[in-house]
Amino acid sequence: MMRAPQTITISGAGSCRTPALIGTLMQMKERFPVKKVIFFDKDMKRFAKIEDYCRLLLHTFSPETEVVVTDDMDEAYCACDFVFCQMRVGQNKMRSYDEKIPLKHGLVGQETCGPGGFAYGMRSIGGMKEMVDCVRKYSKDTWILNYTNPAAIVGLALDRLYPDDHRLINMCDQPYSMMVSFAKILNVNVKKLRARYFGLNHFGWFTELYDTDGHDYFGALRDYLKNHDFKPYNAEQRTQSWLDTYLRVNKMMNCISEYIPTTYLQYYFYADEIVKESDPHFTRADETVLTREKEVWDVCVQAKGKTELGNIQVLSSPVFGSMMVEVAESIAYDLNAEFIVMTRNTGLIDNFPAEAVVEVAGTLGKEGVRGIPYGKIKPFYKGLMENQYAYEELTCEAWMEKDYTKALQALALNRTVNDFDKAKAVLDDLMAVNQAYWTLEKRDEPCI
């Protein structure tokens, strides 16, 4: 049966992830056919580096697909079935501040966790609101698939701003990436793997792993990770900092091994160790420019002026791109495929606030997200999550109310900070460089 082709808008099209996303779309074009691809970015200079390559891939594998390139929001969002959103508000320049300013204060310098994640989240909320408002000006039916980081803060803010918008889906590929890595370790087909999982985005745990035939792999995987180095599925392509990130899963499991933690929990349990290992003058923002971005640009430049693909490499993404397309496919054709999803709690985790945006196993179809109830969580994990959720909630309220006090409370509460003096110092420095994106007002009330 032929599947109806879709019109998609790629928001943040200048990302170095876009070429691999297009490559993946072409590999999966029978599963998710596209009649029109709209590339939207506010910075056309950035997209210009990859435009020839993206056009050449589409011309080669799907010549019937219409291509539109624009920096006009109305043109981008006025008539599309899906928005694939991967925007980075402030680009790499602001990411560098997010990572280096906290390190100056002896705090974790990471783009989604701690003070850096706070600053990035405050920028992203505004950018996402602008996008959603524009899309909804034209259609309530367009599916918005948001992969913009930090997903926990952005997802919670969007749920507060658009509480009845069930076609606004927030997703993260890190659990998906870990599932791919698990499959490689276990030598099983990742498409058949299923997980039981609970947490907040970048703050969760796998508690069961099995396949569609009923085979239980969790015990074997847990034993493996207690006795072998955990490596990502593409370890040979990763930098040392990323390999170290996965190794700390082993370290966490040597302390508490009942569940398998997501990699990002390392920043909350080993903050001092990570700060000592970090170079305040060279962070992942710099590393990305010299590695992943350079590798992508080097491939894309080969397409300049070409009308045939020839020997030019077809980039693809077995994680980010594959998940993005599979999610859209599951929604468009009502497949109700299972993923680790973000959704409002409403009883999925019995003993956690109903209004929180949690991350659990769930399905995606024409009705949107359907989380699979998890049940109760134990006190240790509940305590950690309540602390983290309070930080996320205060961050969202700080943006919405432009409230300096709530921003300070959020950072002081964050497990990577836990110090009022450091929280105030890093907040003031981050606020100074983010004036074009967000502002806060100091009020007369006491800070607590």
How many CB atoms sit inside 10 A of residue 239's CB? 14
Alpha carbon of 242 to those of 231, 251, 290, 373: distances in Å?
9, 15, 15, 32
Helix (H, G, I), strand (E, B) or coil at 195: strand
Task: Please name which of 68, 163, 84, 66 lies closest in space to residue 131, comparing C-alpha atoms.
Answer: 84
Provide the token pair at 357: 């945006």
Catalytic residue among 264, 267, 374, 404: 264
Whole-angstrom Cα distance, residue 341 to residue 364?
8
Assess contact for 327 and 169: CB atoms under 8 A.
yes
Helix (H, G, I), strand (E, B) or coil at 157: helix
Catalytic residue among 98, 173, 403, 429: 173
Whole-angstrom Cα distance, residue 188 to residue 204?
23
Provide the token pair at 179: 């599932």
- List, in order, residues 6 or more apart from 431 with CB less than 8 Å away: 438, 439, 440
Active site residue 264: yes
Neighbour-count burial of 68, counting CB atoms closer than 10 A to its CB (0-12 exposed, 13-18 middle, 19+ buried) = middle
Q: Give residue for tokens 């981008």.
A: 76
Active site residue 97: no
Alpha carbon of 378 to those of 41, 207, 220: distances in Å?
44, 12, 23
How many CA atoms lie less than 13 Å away from 120 in the CB half-sphere? 30
Assess contact for 132 and 168: CB atoms under 8 A.
yes
Whole-angstrom Cα distance, residue 122 to residue 422?
19
Whole-angstrom Cα distance, residue 165 to residue 312?
42
Which residues are catalytic, by number?
Answer: 173, 264
